[in-house]
C-alpha cells in the first residue's frame, strides 16, 4: 500500500517512521511519502491561505497550492489513488472503515488546517479520483495530521503479512463488536491484589466463558451503544457492520 500525505507540517508525520507503521515500511508492505504543501505555493511567503469569501472567522486554504500538490502527487504512483481528507465533518473512522482503507493500493491524505480547504478542490479532485472525508469522532482537532497518524496506523496493522500473530487481530476490541476482556500477567499476587482464580485453573472452557462474560459486562458499562449490534451476542450470527 502506498500513502502520500500532503501537509504544511511534515514533521508532524515523523512518528510514522516508528513503531507499527515503521515496521510495515521496513517489511515493504507500506510506502509512506510526506509532501510539504508550501512547496506548491509560488509567492515568497509560501502562502497557502486567504480570507473567506462571505466573511467569517479564520482563514481558508487556497485552491491553487492544493491542486498543484495533488496533481504532482498523482504522478508518483500507478493507477488511481483514493483521496482521504481528514475532517470533523466526515464519516467516522471505525474498524470497518480501517479495513476498507487497508484494502486500497494507494491513498493520498490531504491535511487541512485553519477553517478548511476551498470547496472547489474537493469538486475538482472528485472528477479524477474517489474522495472520502473521514473524522476521528465528534470533537475538533486543529488539523488533519493527528487523524492521519491514527488512520494509517489502524489500516497498516491490517495489511496481510503485517501482524506476526494473526489471532491477536481476531480477538481484539471491535472485531466482533465487543470490547476486550481484562488481562493479567505474573505475579499472581501484586500489592495484595489477586489475579482472578479462574485464570489459574487450567480449565480452558471456564476461562473462555469468564472472558466472554467480562467482555459483555465491560461493553455494557462503557459502550452500551455497541451491544445491540454485536455479532458476539448471536451464536453463529453475522454482524452486518463488518
For residue 138, say whether it is annotated as part of any ligand binding site.
Answer: yes
Question: For residues 108 and 178, which CB has a smaller minimum distance to ligand 6GU in the complex?
Answer: 108
Q: How far is the CB of 8 from ligand 6GU (least distance, A)?
A: 13
Q: How far is the CB of 178 from ligand 6GU (least distance, A)?
A: 24
Q: How far is the CB of 9 from ligand 6GU (least distance, A)?
A: 13
Question: For residues 137 and 182, which CB has a smaller minimum distance to ligand 6GU in the complex?
Answer: 137
For residue 58, say whether it is annotated as part of any ligand binding site.
Answer: no
Q: How far is the CB of 211 from ligand 6GU (least distance, A)?
A: 32
Question: For residues 3 and 178, which CB has a smaller minimum distance to ligand 6GU in the complex?
Answer: 3
For residue 207, say whether it is annotated as part of any ligand binding site.
Answer: no
Q: How far is the CB of 144 from ligand 6GU (least distance, A)?
A: 5
For residue 53, say whether it is annotated as part of any ligand binding site.
Answer: no
For residue 158, say whether it is annotated as part of any ligand binding site.
Answer: no
Question: For residues 53 and 139, which CB has a smaller minimum distance to ligand 6GU in the complex?
Answer: 139
Q: What's the chain look like in SS3?
A: CEEEEEECCHHHHHHHHCHHHHHHHHCCCCEEEEEEHHHHCCCCCCCCEECCCCCCCCCEECHHHHHHHHHHHCCCCCCCCEEEEEEEEEEECCHHHHHHHHCCCEEEEECCCCCCECHHHHHHHHCCCCEEEEECCCCCCCCCHHHHHHHHHHHHCCCCCCCCCHHHHHCCCCCCCCCCCCCCCCCCEECCEECCHHHHCCCHHHHHHHHHHHHHHHHHHHCHHHHCCCHHHCCCCCCCCC
Question: For residues 102 and 117, which CB has a smaller minimum distance to ligand 6GU in the complex?
Answer: 117
**Binding interface with ligand 6GU (CB under 6 A):** 86-88, 135-137, 139-141, 143-144, 147
Asked if residues 146 and 15 have their Cβ atoms less than 8 Å apart, the reply is: no
Annotated binding site: 112, 136-141
Annotated binding site for S-adenosyl-L-methionine: 112, 136-141
Amino acid at each position: 500500500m502506498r500513502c502520500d500525505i500532503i501537509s504544511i507540517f511534515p514533521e508532524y508525520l515523523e512518528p510514522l517512521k516508528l513503531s507499527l507503521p515503521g515496521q510495515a515500511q521496513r517489511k515493504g508492505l507500506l510506502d509512506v511519502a510526506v509532501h510539504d504543501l508550501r512547496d506548491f505555493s509560488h509567492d515568497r511567503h509560501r502562502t497557502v491561505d486567504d480570507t473567506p469569501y462571505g466573511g467569517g472567522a479564520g482563514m481558508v486554504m487556497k485552491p491553487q497550492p492544493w491542486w498543484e500538490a495533488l496533481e504532482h502527487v498523482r504522478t508518483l504512483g500507478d493507477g488511481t489513488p483514493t483521496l482521504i481528507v481528514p475532517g470533523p465533518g466526515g464519516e467516522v473512522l471505525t474498524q470497518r472503515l480501517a479495513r476498507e482503507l487497508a484494502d486500497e493500493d494507494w491513498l493520498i491524505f490531504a491535511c487541512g488546517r485553519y477553517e478548511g480547504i476551498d470547496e472547489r478542490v474537493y469538486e475538482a479532485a472528485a472528477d479524477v479520483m474517489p474522495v472520502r472525508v473521514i473524522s476521528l469522532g465528534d470533537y475538533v482537532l486543529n488539523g488533519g495530521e493527528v487523524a492521519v497518524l491514527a488512520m494509517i496506523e489502524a489500516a497498516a496493522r491490517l495489511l496481510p503479512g503485517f501482524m506476526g500473530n494473526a489471532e491477536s487481530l481476531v480477538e481484539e476490541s471491535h472485531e466482533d463488536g465487543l470490547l476486550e476482556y481484562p488481562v493479567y500477567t505474573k505475579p499472581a499476587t501484586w500489592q495484595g491484589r489477586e489475579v482472578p482464580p479462574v485464570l489459574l485453573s487450567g480449565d480452558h472452557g471456564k476461562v473462555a466463558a469468564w472472558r466472554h462474560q467480562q467482555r459483555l459486562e465491560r461493553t455494557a458499562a462503557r459502550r452500551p451503544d455497541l451491544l445491540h449490534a454485536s455479532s458476539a451476542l448471536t451464536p453463529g450470527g453475522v454482524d452486518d457492520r463488518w
